[in-house]
Amino acid sequence: MNASNTTELINTLGSQAKAASARMARASAATKRQALTTLAALLRANVESLQIENAKDLARARAAGLAEPLVDRLKLTPSALETCAQGCEQLAAMADIIGEMGQMRVPIGVFGMIYESRPNVTIEAASLAIKSGNAAILRGGSEAIDSNRALAVLVQQALAAAGLPTDAVQLVPTTDRAAVGQLITMPQYVDVIIPRGGKGLIERISAEAKVPVIKHLDGNCHTYVDDPCDIAMAVAVADNAKTQKYSPCNATESLLVARGVAAEFLPLIGAIYAAKGVEMRVCATSRALLAGVAGANLQDATEADWSEEYLDQHPRGGRCGRSDRPHQPLQQPPHRRHPDPRSHARPEIPARGRFGQRDGECEHPLRRWIRVRIGG
């Protein structure tokens, strides 16, 4: 597609979305609920056809030599599709807050979402647009183009069935990178851009956009095990936070353990990590406590490890500290990020996205490391 055709395409999508946004803003709660429940039903009814389209993306990715953890992000398994359907139903069941005057809750208008890899994001973004009474222009990654196109067709069928404009959710149908540049420079049509992906994507969008951007950058997630704590719960949380799925950006990278519980906790979680092939990059104190764990892959952590984002089986190991301040997080060097409260081991299971996936995914090959540090 040449530049003039791309410009014309994106302008058309923009004008259609702007017109649709006015109707979406006036849509009743019942109408939006109907669209979401219909979308859930369509996802369940079209598992086989969606997997046929998804197989094209998977074959293309493997032929291009994409690493298997990244190929994994492209998969639309029956389980993943069921999770998406349940997410739509959960949204449909939530109270509709649009129009509440106390908080001045009104739709934004048109948002553009630019994302990489995971085709389930197409459903996440579309369903949120419907629930919030907004219109959306979605630009997924080229590696998932066939899956995204098939999902977008179902979204528009659900909109039509509910009497809503099909242009309320539109997928950019081309993989031409120029389409992104055009989409983020259309303030006459687009009210906000939401990039979801790796650091390079976020930086490019932030630098070039002429509309407001809702962004994130690097992730560096911590699980903090406090003193006192429920040891069994802490083990379950630390295991889930790291190994439930290695590839998302908010899988745990650092395990911070209060000194008062370290001797009991670390050998238990260390045995689980060892069995699952997780490499532990450890401080000196945690190394001593983990030394007796059979099969443990222990490496001494370097200073650089404490600020590195891991995306594979390598969590950063533990660091030990004082036990006289049990409810304070560890003091960190200035360059380190604060612990992610979603991965705190007290008292809840680590946060998971509304669709059963962890949020904030990005592209990186190293997820099976974890840092282990013992602190206050």
Angle at 359 between CA 189 and CA 50, to 5 degrees: 75
Question: Hey, what are 333's tokens?
Answer: 């060097």
Cα 179 from Cα 135, distance rounded (Å): 18
Q: Report CA dihedral (55, 120, 153, 156) to the nearest 10 degrees.
A: 170
Evaluate whether 251 touches 241 at the Cβ level (below 8 Å): yes
- Residue 79, pLDDT score: 95
Question: With respect to CATH, is domain 222-375 assigned 3.40.309?
Answer: yes
Provide φ and ψ at 370, rounded to 5°: -145, 140
- Residue 360, pLDDT score: 35
90 φψ region: left (φ > 0), alpha (ψ -120 to 50), beta (else):
alpha
Q: Minimal CA–CA distance to 278: which of 308, 249, 306, 240? A: 240
Q: Quick one: the chain helix, strand, coil %, rounded to 5?
A: 45, 15, 40
Evaluate whether 371 touches 305 at the Cβ level (below 8 Å): yes
- Residue 326, pLDDT score: 31
* pTM (global) more than 0.85: no
Q: Do domains 3-208 and 222-375 have the same CATH topology?
A: no
- Residue 310, pLDDT score: 61
Q: Report domain extents, the chain.
A: 3-208, 222-375
- Residue 1, pLDDT score: 63
- Residue 195, pLDDT score: 94
CATH number assigned to the domain covering 3-208: 3.40.605.10
Question: N- to C-terminal Cα distance for the chain?
Answer: 58
Q: Minimal CA–CA distance to 265: which of 223, 221, 306? A: 223
Q: Helix and strand tally (H, E) in the chain?
A: 12, 10
Q: Which residues contact 354 (CB under 8 A, 6 or more apart)?
A: 87, 90, 91, 124
Residues of the chain with pLDDT under 70: 1-2, 100-103, 217-219, 247-248, 307-371, 373-376
